Amino acid sequence: MRTRYMTSESVRKGHPDKVCDQISDAILDGYLAQDSASRVAVETFASNNCLMIAGEVTSSAKVNLEETARGVLRDIGYRSLESGLDGEHCLILCNVHQQSADIDLGVSQAGGRHSAVLGGGDQGIMYGYATNETANYMPLTCNLAHGMARLLDVIGQQADFLRPDGKTQATMKFDEMGRPQGLSSVVVSVQHVPEVKAEELREIVRQLVIQPVCGDWLRPDTVVHINPTGRFVIGGPAGDTGLTGRKIMVDSYGSLARHGGGAFSGKDATKVDRSAAYMARYAAKNIVAAGLADRCEVSIAYVIGSVRPEAVFVETFGTEKIPVAMIEQAVAGNFSFGVADIIETLALRQPIFRRTAAYGHFGREDQGFAWERLDKKEALAGWLRK
């Protein structure tokens, strides 16, 4: 009888890497709001009281990059050097230029940026995953970690003793059948003002964050770590550098599914790193919701400039209810993985992306993201009767 442990982490909006993700996606949204065919690949770097915004853009839109970044910093709560970054007065350097004409040759294949025929903006393998262990078809530990991070941010907006940075982590014990048995450990690290006492802060976090989110899974032997070093005053970019795309496992499935390695934030939908990962999630979620498998991973491989993927592969980890070959036939009949088709199906020309840049890109059913729809469920379920 082998016991398994699964761990997922999340970060607050004020984590340095997440700050950069949100700025990059806010800039992307700014371009898409004015020109839906914008090509954007922007990254942000943060260190001390300085930001660097760099990348490639092809667009008719005019976006004030500096003011967009400062607006994000204000919203997060970085308003002074003491908090970790002075959003109003920090140094912001911008080095954004036109997209490479060589890349554009592969993406625009029939009439320029507004063409309906688009090639992939890069090569790579993208993955989507779903499991029936939770109502939103996400790994349980992933939901718990994100739930604690989200609640920390809600409390942080109201409590003057918390600062914006922070991380969470949940480790669940599973039996040999894959059934959750309870939390082995919970970790919460939260930035705070120097005046607050460690034990007072720990009790607040236990009662207002851990208990509401994890209470059903806490056991007498659950180990709870709150600010394990004892002090977390210096945070944000003052404590650690931040970079767009450095939290890809937080963004996806909390380390419990494979990832192709390409970051999401700051990229428009012609970049299959992002759009194909969303489409793979859409397919995997509908497969599981239809009852074709208890767990599912969909992988898609692309070459730069290709209109269609090189391969689409379905993995069900032995949980399939019909032969996997039939599931792949069902996928081929209900989903199109061409770049232009993905963009149209998932409505990826809209300025929706800043909302994806905290608490994960998947399982966010309250946000109206098209890749979380279950509109293919009934069609796929029909394959159970064939």
Do 162 and 181 share a domain, yes or no? yes
* Measured distance CA(369)–CA(298) in Å, rounded: 19
- Phi and psi at 110, nearest 5°, equal -160, 70
Do 171 and 217 share a domain, yes or no? yes
| Cα–Cα nearest to 280, from 317, 246, 253, 307 | 253
**CB neighbour list of residue 350: distance below 8 Å, 6 or more residues apart:** 32, 36
Do 282 and 372 share a domain, yes or no? yes
Do 341 and 369 share a domain, yes or no? yes
* Measured distance CA(304)–CA(106) in Å, rounded: 6
Do 310 and 231 share a domain, yes or no? no
Model pTM score:
0.93
Do 129 and 170 share a domain, yes or no? no
Question: What pLDDT score was predicted for residue 113?
Answer: 45
**CATH number of the domain bearing residue 183:** 3.30.300.10
With respect to residue 173, please indicate whether it lies within any of the assigned structural domains. Answer: yes
With respect to residue 26, please indicate whether it lies within any of the assigned structural domains. Answer: no
Do 303 and 364 share a domain, yes or no? yes
With respect to residue 171, please indicate whether it lies within any of the assigned structural domains. Answer: yes
Do 159 and 128 share a domain, yes or no? no
**Cβ atoms of 168 and 152 closer than 8 Å:** yes
With respect to residue 83, please indicate whether it lies within any of the assigned structural domains. Answer: no
313: its two tokens: 């592969």
**Cβ atoms of 168 and 9 closer than 8 Å:** yes
With respect to residue 376, please indicate whether it lies within any of the assigned structural domains. Answer: yes
With respect to residue 295, please indicate whether it lies within any of the assigned structural domains. Answer: yes
Do 128 and 168 share a domain, yes or no? no
The CA-to-CA distance between both ends of the chain, in Å, stands at 36
Do 167 and 128 share a domain, yes or no? no
Of 235, 251, 281, the residue at which a domain comes to its end is 235
**Cβ atoms of 118 and 349 closer than 8 Å:** no
Of 189, 208, 235, the residue at which a domain comes to its end is 235
Question: What pLDDT score was predicted for residue 178?
Answer: 84
Question: What pLDDT score was predicted for residue 305?
Answer: 73
Q: pLDDT for 337-376, tens place per residue? A: 999 999 999 999 999 999 999 999 999 999 999 999 999 9
With respect to residue 174, please indicate whether it lies within any of the assigned structural domains. Answer: yes
Number of domain units in the chain: 2
Do 186 and 290 share a domain, yes or no? no
With respect to residue 304, please indicate whether it lies within any of the assigned structural domains. Answer: yes
- The residue ranges of the chain whose pLDDT is under 50 are 110-115
Do 129 and 148 share a domain, yes or no? no
Token pair 């036939």: residue: 329
Look up the domain containing 381 and give its range: 124-133+272-385
